[in-house]
Amino acid sequence: MFLTEGYANTAMDAIAASAGVSKGTLYSRYPDKPALFRAIVTARLNRSADLVTDQAVFGDGSSQQQLHRFGTVFLERMLTADVIAFDKLIIAEADNFPELALEFHEQGYVKAVRRLSDRMSKVTKEESWEASDPFVLSTAFIAALIGWVRREGRIRSLSKEDCDAFVSRLVALFAGGRSAW
């Protein structure tokens, strides 16, 4: 309900009714709405923490091919209705729940940056040119993906073709500046 109604518009009565439990049962487990919200967000973060860090995200190929694959999979997963709603909810409630915003940042963004950084470090060594700072490369790449989705995705529907074209241009930009990595 938090995803569809937002935190402020979700009442404990409605949650209890939706879950098919009494308010007493709900309150015996969660003393208040903030405690329930924290529990739901934490559980969700734990379930989805590895969505963009599994090996299948990268595939095989050159650093550019793997960066492209990572970018398209990352955008595909970010553009699901559920992820968009969750992202909006966490951003909207960041001032009220800063610890959850930090956990969201650590479990999502930072974990993805570290995973991409590790992969780029490995694959660039295999290509006989070692990225001097794969963490900065990964941070900038993922920040560009997130920024594009949050800006463009709010004003229009993004197709797979849009995502592929953006990632292709982004990878070309990064490949062109490869000496700065």
Q: What is the CATH number of the domain that holds 153?
A: 1.10.357
Mean pLDDT of the chain: 88
**pLDDT at residue 92, as a whole number:** 93
Q: How far is 130 from 110, CA to CA, in rounded Å? A: 22
* Helix ranges (DSSP H) in the chain: 2-5, 12-19, 23-29, 33-48, 63-78, 81-92, 98-104, 111-126, 134-155, 160-176
Residue 46 lies in a domain: no
Residue 117 lies in a domain: yes
**pLDDT at residue 51, as a whole number:** 60
**pLDDT at residue 124, as a whole number:** 84
Rg (alpha carbons) of the chain, rounded to whole number: 19
Q: Percent of the chain beyond pLDDT 90?
A: 55
Domain limits at 59?
52-180
Residue 21 lies in a domain: no
Nearest to 30 by CA among 8, 10, 18, 15: 15
Looking at the 3D structure of the chain, how many domains does it have? 1
Residue 37 lies in a domain: no
Q: Report how far Cα 83 is from the mean position of its chain's Cα atoms.
A: 8
Residue 131 lies in a domain: yes
Tokens 């739901």 correspond to 40
Residue 5 lies in a domain: no
**pLDDT at residue 33, as a whole number:** 92
pTM summary value: 0.82
**Cα torsion angle, 88, 91, 95, 100, sign:** positive
Residue 6 lies in a domain: no
Residue 93 lies in a domain: yes
